[in-house]
Amino acid sequence: MKIKKFSIFIFIFLFGGCFTCIDAQEIDINKEFKLLKEEMDTALINQADVLSPQSFQEAKSNFEEAKNNLEKQKTINKSIEHQISVAREYLRSANKTTNLIHQQIGDVLKARKLAIVAGATFYYPTDFGKADNLLQKISTDLTNNNIEEMMKNRAKLQASYSDLELRAIKHQNLAVARITLINAIEVGARKYAPDKFEKTLQKYKDALGFIGEHRHDESQIQKRVFAVNESARDLLSTTQNIAASRPVGVDIFEDQIRVKQSAVVKQQKSIDEKILEVRRKFTRDEADIEKHGDTLVIRLKGLKFPPARSTLNASNLRLLGILQRVVRDFGRHGIEVEGHTDSVGSMAFNSKLSKERAQTVKDYLLSIDAIPVKKIKVIGRGEEVPLATNKTVEGRSQNRRADILIKL
């Protein structure tokens, strides 16, 4: 249940905790801020923002308000002391709820962390969001002492996070082999190199099975992934050579395959050249460039929105200027702007804030005629796809960003 600020004030006043009665000169306000900030960071690590979002957000709001007031006034007054006291009370409430939930479903929360580390929030954001919705329900049931309902969903939720982790590990490790196999099949691997095809396919299946049984054995997984990648590349190369060596006119269908394969290689070369050209435009601190299928992803980690805001700073002009040129050169098929946040705050707040950040970048690109309005879309990813850890100030700064997805 959300604690009202007024109730906390009455509690403090009636029961001798009148923080505003302390002489301002007797309080080391900087020490108070530092201690409270450390407590809030610890609460974040314990996922208090997810497990007790309302109380944690109230604590954060009061803390930020006190900090802003001190920066404006440059002096300590009773109001600032009171705001710090209220923030601490809300944080205690959030920690109490969080600790209770950790005691009851610590194994579920561990499974959630493992899924995040494996990349489940990136590869399967919709399914991960559904699991988090169930986590919110379980948290509410625990807070309301509805133990029976909580126990009914606990095993289901743990299994969901565990399954998401496994799927993400498989996807991350075997994506290259899977794509290479598909390319080999398209140019006739089953027909031209059936033995190699069956052996490669079996290695792929064996790797899938091993990951399913030993998902955290990274050393052995990498050995199997390396082997299946090498086998798949050899299969593709062999198939291409055999297909290319067939006499003209022997088999019209086979000739069509060879022509198609050649076009695919040429197209891939053109795409690779585009990616290299885009990558050269940004420094490592400004953006990460990745290719996912037929989409080029530009992660603008150098954009760094201010906390809880969607405004752009003057320091972003150089980066935005580069983005403008890239969008004009490569965005003819359309782009999507994804907004992102750090993990501070509730999921609902971060979802709304991330969409506002995406809209800000869209408005900028439209204002300079970088792309027609019908070819740009926005989406808010909230805190689902972090680039860095949310445990540090620098990590959270990188996560407050926008990503540009360009169709190639």
Q: pLDDT of 55-100, one tens digit each?
A: 888 988 888 888 888 777 655 577 788 888 898 899 998 888 888 7
162 domain residue, yes or no? no
Residue 287, domain extent: 282-408
- What pLDDT, on the 0 to 100 scale, is given for residue 74? 59
Mean residue pLDDT across the chain: 82
Total number of domains constituting the chain: 2
124 domain residue, yes or no? no
CATH of the domain at 289: 3.30.1330.60
Please say which residue of 118, 146, 163 terminates a domain: 118
Residue 24 in this model has a pLDDT that exceeds 60: no
268 domain residue, yes or no? no
Question: pLDDT digit string (tens) for 357-395?
Answer: 999 999 888 888 888 889 999 999 999 999 889 999 988
Beta pairing class for 295-300 and 335-339: unpaired
- How far apart (Å, rounded) are the C-alpha atoms in residues 93 and 91? 5
- How far apart (Å, rounded) are the C-alpha atoms in residues 209 and 170? 10
- What pLDDT, on the 0 to 100 scale, is given for residue 262? 54
Length of the chain: 408
135 domain residue, yes or no? no
- How far apart (Å, rounded) are the C-alpha atoms in residues 209 and 373? 46
391 domain residue, yes or no? yes
89 domain residue, yes or no? yes
Question: pLDDT digit string (tens) for 228-256?
Answer: 999 999 999 999 998 888 665 455 555 55
Confidence at 199, pLDDT banded by 50, 70, 90: very high
151 domain residue, yes or no? no
Share of the chain above pLDDT 70, in %: 86
Please say which residue of 61, 83, 118 terminates a domain: 118
207 domain residue, yes or no? no
Handedness of CA 173, 174, 179, 183 (dihedral sign): positive
Question: pLDDT digit string (tens) for 142-151?
Answer: 777 777 777 8
Please say which residue of 52, 83, 118 terminates a domain: 118
- How far apart (Å, rounded) are the C-alpha atoms in residues 183 and 269? 15
- What pLDDT, on the 0 to 100 scale, is given for residue 21? 40
